[in-house]
Amino acid sequence: MSSREEILQHLRQNTRETYDQPDFCQLKPITFDDPVAEFKQRTTTTAGAKLLEMKEGDDLNIVVRQAYPDAKIIASNLSGVEAQLNPDSATVEELERVDVGVIRGEIGVAENACIWVPQTMKERAVCFASQQLVIVLRADSIVNNMHEAYDRIAASGEYFQQYKFGTFISGPSKTADIESALVYGAQAARGVTVVLTAQ
C-alpha cells in the first residue's frame, strides 16, 4: 500500500460524521442594504487602501496633488490630471520610475473592495509599476458582489475591444511569504488611494 493510500485509509477510518455536498446553485450571493457604504468601509479596512471622496466641482488634479504633495513623476492618461508621463506614449522603462499612477476603475465590488480596471491605456505597467496608485471610481458603479461584477463585465464587450486585458485591484500589494514579515509593494503599488466621484 502506498503512503497516499495509507493516509486516505486512516482518514476514512477516523471520519465520524459526513455531510452532503451543498448545492452551490442554491447559494445566494451576498447583498447589502447600502453597497456604497459597505465598499467604503471595506476599502479602508479589508483592502487597506485610502479613500477620498470628490464633491461636485472638485478638481481631480488638486485632489491628487494634495494626497501626494511630494510626487515628482505622475503618470496618467485621464483628463484633468497634470501628468509628467502618459501611459499611452511612455515606455515600460519610463513607467518604472513613476511615483503616482492615476487610472480609472470601472466597477467597484462591495463584498471585497475590489475594483475592476480594464486596460484603457497602451502600457498597463502604470497599474503595477507605480509606487502609489490612485483609482478613480464612480460611486454609482459599485455593485454588491463578484457575481454582479462579472455579469456587468460580460454584458459589456467594450472592456476587451482594444487591449483585451483587465484586472481586479484591491488595495496595495502585500506579502508575508518571506520570513513572515509583511512587505508592501512586493508585486505592485505600495499604496492605493480610491477616489470616489459622483459622476
pLDDT digits 0-9 by tens, 98-142: 999 999 999 999 999 999 999 999 999 999 999 999 999 999 999
CATH 3.40.50.10420 for the 30-197 domain, yes or no? yes
pLDDT value at residue 159: 67
Distance, CA of 113 to CA of 106 (rounded, Å) = 13
Confidence (pLDDT) at 86 = 95
pLDDT in tens, 145-171: 999 999 999 887 776 677 789 999 998
- Give domain limits for the chain: 30-197
Residues 6 or more apart whose Cβ sits within 8 Å of residue 59? 80
Reported as a pLDDT band with limits 50, 70 and 90, residue 22 is confident
Q: Is the pLDDT of residue 80 over 90?
A: no
Q: If 0-12 CB within 10 Å is exposed, 13-18 middle and 19+ buried, where does residue 84 land?
A: middle
